[in-house]
Each structure stands twice: as structure tokens, then as C-alpha cells.
Structure 1
Amino acid sequence: MHRRRGKDLEEALLRAAWAELTERGYAAFTLEAVAKRAGTSTPVIYRRWANKASMVEAALVYESSTRVVDIPDTGTLRGDLITMMRAANRSRIDLLVVTAVLLDEYFAERGSNLEQLRARVLAGRRSAAETIFERAVDRGEVDASVLRPHLISLPFDLFRHEVLVTLKPVSDMAIDRIVDDITMPLLARRSR
């Protein structure tokens, strides 16, 4: 049998960790189970991650990186927001549900919350929302002077809220309401 090393071994461990997390939750997650699933030993894991919390964080970062959604450029802010949310519905909902539902003990253990974990997962990466709104400013759809971080994140915060409340993909009707009834009117009012 070929012995895995480096990136191949690390990816196998992170895939195994994600599988363990989604099947068992954080409370029952063990590094021993990850090692067994990956066909290796726990010392191999401990050379990379000090504890289960840091391995779970790494697994979330890895899994998130495999689900990158292309940032749409439909020609309008409305179109970009709707297209982005629909794409997230298809490829990223389980990431949000897993972090919200299965990580309660992680948050208690780390004295952390979903927003802090999200910041760790996204560290060093620019958000899709920033790109979408930057393009809207360039097209003259939005006045850059009214944009603030909370306004840029608002449509996606509402999208995440909807997922957390329902634990399922956001309906097209709800996406349309987020964009047409809240985001677009709010930006238009602030631009006056």
C-alpha cells in the first residue's frame, strides 16, 4: 500500500474529520476515530493539530475551501445578490447547518460563537459581498459613500439567519424578499 505524505495525507485527515463531524457531531468527535477513518494513527494527527477543536477548525476551513462559489457578474447588483445566494443554497448550506447545530459543545469549550468561527474560517479571504458591492459601485448602482460593512454583509446575514432558523436551503421567494424588499430599498434610501 502506498503511504500518503504531505498534502495528500493532510487532505485525507481533513476529509475524515469532516465525515466524523457530520456523522457524530462535536461531542462524539475523537481524533482516534479520525485516524481510524483515514487509515493512520493518532500521533500523525497530533503532529498537525494540538487538539480536537483545532482539527475541527481546520476541517471547516478545508471543507469551505472545496465549496468555493464563483462570484457572479450578471451586470446588476440585484442579479449578483440573487445568483450568489442561489449558488450558496446549492453548495454551502450544510456547512452552515453543521456549524450551527453540531458545534454547540465546541463553542462552549472555546468560549466562542458562530461569528468568531466564521471569521477564523474566512481569515485572509475577501468576502464575495465586498466584490459584488464593489462592482455595483463601479457600475454606478450604489453610492460608495453610503456603504458600510454592516450594509455590505446585510443580505448575506439575512440569508444565514434564514438557514439557521429553518435548517434548510433558503427559498427563492425568501431570497427575493431579502434582495427586493430589504437590501435594494435600503440602499436606494441611503443613496438619496
Structure 2
Amino acid sequence: MRAVGYHELTYDAVAARARTSRTVLYRRWPHRRDLVLAALRHQAPPLPPPVPDTGSLRTDLLSQLRQVSTRTTELVPILQVIGDGRANDSDLTSYLHDRVSQAGKPEMDAMLERAVLRSELDEARLPARVAMLPFALVAAETLLRQRPLSEDALAEIVDQVVLPLIAHHGQTRR
């Protein structure tokens, strides 16, 4: 798929490369989208990465966002194929949407709950968009740069964006 794109991908080409027959492929993946989705699921890194517990909210966030940046870099080749516009309104775009629609929310909730237990915060709730923002920001910047973000960039995001947002929503210890 990387070589030709989604719409030019054929069962004949995949069968030849896999040294099998079209029939074998059709039996398992009756539609091209099923075949491509199976390949994406196999190649894409598992999401989400494990939620770190470093002992403080700031270092938890830095660790988590570092993992997100690294794993997003691994998705660049897949996204380039899909992002060429030829797969729009397909199951491929639905697959990606499903992977990222709540990206970061459960992880942020877990980190905030631990911060409450450590008495770093008064409560552990953020609006969903606010909770997902650092993950979206890191993923977007990583995709643009096509390499993991530097430690300085991650610290800037945590210190200048995430922690002030949490404080704005009244969760910091007074």
C-alpha cells in the first residue's frame, strides 16, 4: 500500500508479494479495505502506551507525552499513504478516527487520579477536550516534524500549556 496508495492496491500485487494466491487473500479479507485495515492494525503501534507512574504529575505527563511522540513517529509512513486524499470517506479514515477520537482521555484521567492521591490536585476531572489537548498537540507537532519532539519541546508543552490548563480548571492544590 505504501508503494501505490490505497486505491491502486490490488489483490494480485499483494498475493504476488506474499507468495500466495488471490483466493487465499479473498477468503480471509473479502474486501480490499479489510486487507488494508488488517495490515494497518498489524503495523501500527498499540495505543495507548502504558500510563507511567513516576511520582509526580509533571513527570508522568512528560513520560506519557514522550511515548506518544515516539509512537506517532512510527505512524508517519501509514498516515502518509492514507493522507494522500485517495482514501477519504473510507473505512481507513474511520479506523484512524476510532484510534484517535478519545486519545489521551483515559490516560490523563489516570494520571490526574494518581495526582489527587498524592495530594498534588484537589480533584481529577477535566473536560474531555482539555484532557485530550496535550496528546493532540504532541501528535500534530510530531507529524509535522516527522520525528519525536525534543525534551525541551515536551517540557514547554507540559509547563506552559498542560499544567496551566489544569490550574485554570481549579484543580491545583492551593
Shift, 1:79, TM fit: 0.8
* Unmatched tracts of structure 1, length 5 or more: 1-20
CA gap 1:27/1:83 in 2 versus in 1, 3 angstroms: same
Alpha-carbon distance in structure 1 between the residues aligned to 2:22 and 2:63: 42
Q: 1:77-88 to 2 correspondence within 5 Å?
A: 77-88=57-68
Q: Does 1:148 align with 2:127?
A: yes
Q: Determine the structure 2 residue equivalent to 1:117.
A: 95
Judge conservation of contact 1:77–1:136 (CA < 8 Å) in 2: yes
TM-score (norm 2): 0.76
1:162/1:170 contact within 8 Å kept? yes
User: Which gives a bigger RCO, structure 1 or 2 (Cα 8 Å, sep 6+)?
Assistant: 2
The normalised TM-score by structure 1 is: 0.70
Return the alpha-carbon distance in structure 1 between the equivalents of residues 59 and 130 of structure 2: 17
**Superposition deviation, residue 68 in structure 1:** 6.5
Query: Larger helix proportion, structure 1 or 2?
Result: 1
Aligned-residue RMSD, C-alpha: 3.2
Structure 2: gaps of 5 or more residues: none
- Provide the secondary structure at the position in 1 that maps to 2:160: helix
1:118 CA drift (Å)? 3.0
Distance 1:88 1:107 in 2: 25
Distance 2:120 2:158 in 1: 14
Q: Does 1:43 align with 2:18?
A: no
The within-5 A match list for 1:50-69 is: 50-64=30-44, 69=49
Runs ≥4 in structure 1, deviation > 6 angstroms? none
